[in-house]
Amino acid sequence: MRIVLVGGGTGGHFYPLMAVAEAVRERDQGEGRETELFYMGPDAYSVESLSALNIKLVRCPAGKKRNYFSLLNYLDGFKTLYGVMVAFVKLLKLYPDVVFSKGGYTSVPITIAASLLRIPVVIHESDAVPGRANKLAARFARIIGIAHAEVADFFPKEKVINVGMPIRRAFMQPINNPHAVLGISKDRPVILVTGGSSGAERLNNFVLAALSKLLATYTVVHQVGDNNVQKVSSAATSLFTDQSALSHYYLFGHLPQEKFAAAFQAADLIVTRAGSTTLFEIALNKKPAILVPIPEEISRDQRSNAYAYARITGATVLEEHNLSDDILVAEINRILGDRESYERMVEGTKALTSDQAAYKLADILIEIGHSHE
């Protein structure tokens, strides 16, 4: 059996694919088979992840459609057309039993080519509002998996299955001493700040502005993105005459998934953007959260994700244009200082726990793959 995985550009698209790949490998072991897995896209995104799961990379160009005016939108239209031709030839050679897409601009040429070749397509929509790539792919998809119930209204009802969000195993397994894994002490409440796989510059700036107030009481674990480490580190250092305060500040660009999972488990509160994968990882770890979605004019999905998540869990949503360091600190203090409110948030996350989503999707792919052989 051959399964092609597509969708990338961000960790929010890529890592759920790896969660499903983990589930396929687990099913392989139980049933004594070896499914051939391929990842198609312009680049590997994470060579280590592909290698760990024995997933072969098949390169395919793709053009990006931006939410703002850019001449590159016109040039990338030709790149997408070229990508369809490349994908057609490569899929014809591989002829997989099923293509599984998480959406994103990198998936468009491949799902179009798969439909032309009559290869079954399964898609998964993580967000509360579907992206353009999945709206297109839904026309010829056999199954549409969703994580948010309300997004079903955008798709043909007979194709939709609410499976939840596929999460990597590392984020589902309890860690004995997550503080020790991170090298942090347990003597203070821990705030994890994460802007997603590439960090978030505006969120980093809000945290830096609030840092002196936060470090007086809390340990701050701050994921800033690999490209921002030096800049944020220098800015944080310049804030303090007494550098000993920074002993409670742990800055990193990107962590291996085991350490990132430890950060989620060690945290008492998480401050984050509103990428859907991150939100479901927070829910799985039953943590209260403050959500600062990317403004709608830049990202059409994060604001919808944030409010959909907050309605169920009671998480706080702070709009970026209304945010200040004082407001951020006040909300952190309010949540961590009000045990009743804190416990309500913890209880609310249980409604979104989806530890079986990856297995449900793996079983769908395997069943379709068998019928296509």
Quick one: pLDDT at residue 103?
93
Please report, for the chain, the start and end positions of each structural domain, with discontinuous segments joined by +.
2-166+355-372, 171-352
Question: What is the C-alpha to C-alpha distance for residues 224 and 207, in angstroms, rounded to an integer?
Answer: 10
Quickly name the fold that domain 171-352 has.
Answer: Rossmann fold (3.40.50)
Which tens digit of pLDDT belongs to each residue from 137-150? 999 999 999 999 99
CATH of span 2-166+355-372: 3.40.50.2000
N residues, the chain? 373
Which tens digit of pLDDT belongs to each residue from 150-170? 999 999 999 999 999 999 999
CA 320 from centre of chain: 20
Asked if domains 2-166+355-372 and 171-352 share a fold, the reply is yes
CB of 368 within 8 A of CB of 142? Answer: yes
Q: Which residues of the chain have pLDDT under 70?
A: 63, 65-74, 76, 196-199, 300, 372-373
One DSSP character per residue, 79-138 reads: HHHHHHHHHHHHHHHH--SEEEE--SGGGHHHHHHHHHTT--EEEEE-SSS--HHHHHHT
What distance, in Å, lies between the first and last C-alpha atoms of the chain?
A: 7
Question: What is the C-alpha to C-alpha distance for residues 291 and 272, in angstroms, rounded to an integer?
Answer: 5
Quick one: pLDDT at residue 87?
97
